[in-house]
Amino acid sequence: MKENTFVWCFHNGKITEPLYLVIVNLIILSTCGVTTSVLYLEHWYEQLLLSSVYIILLIAATLNQGCILRNFITNAIDISCAAAIFLLNVFFWGKTFHWGEILYAFFLFLFFFLYSHRYYDELTTEQYIFCTNLWHAGVILLIFLVPAQRQQDNLF
């Protein structure tokens, strides 16, 4: 592994410095998620559920992706919340997706998979920050694309 790879975040097993740009982007993403939940979901319990998951994601992802407290637990909560948000959005708007949004989401997930799994060990700190923020920007765009263009139509 190169000296300047992502492991920079750790020195002798301890995190050296938080990634503030990633944290700011996570705050924007979660704020957008809560805002669209409140504006576009019909029922208060749907709004509360999705908003709560976004807030939990903000805390866990900030600790994990922002390199404040990176461990198995924060990683698992981060991934679980992201998956829950994805599934809830599919539930709320799944019947109304257009093929372009599905294709956009596919390429977005492909990008995420490549940078977070395939090239993860080869990324420098700057590359990791850029890829993470680009991924989050793509997710923010998707958060606004789907609800703003159509009415909610739950799968069940």
The DSSP annotation for 80-110 comes to HHHHHHHHHHHHHHGGG--HHHHHHHHHHHH
Structure letter (DSSP) for residue 124: B
| Residues 123-145 pLDDT 10s | 888 888 899 999 999 999 999 88
Residue 74 lies in a domain: yes
pTM for the full model? 0.87
For residue 89, the enclosing domain spans 6-149
Number of domains observed in the structure of the chain: 1
- Which helix (H) or strand (E) segment holds residue 41: the answer is none
Is the pLDDT score of 4 beyond 60? no
Is the pLDDT score of 112 beyond 70? yes
Residue 141 lies in a domain: yes
| Residues 62-96 pLDDT 10s | 999 998 888 899 999 999 999 999 999 999 998 98
> At 5, is the secondary structure helix, strand, or coil?
strand
The tokens for 67 are 């390199």
> At 37, is the secondary structure helix, strand, or coil?
helix
Residue 155 lies in a domain: no
Q: How far is CA 148 from the centre of its chain?
A: 19
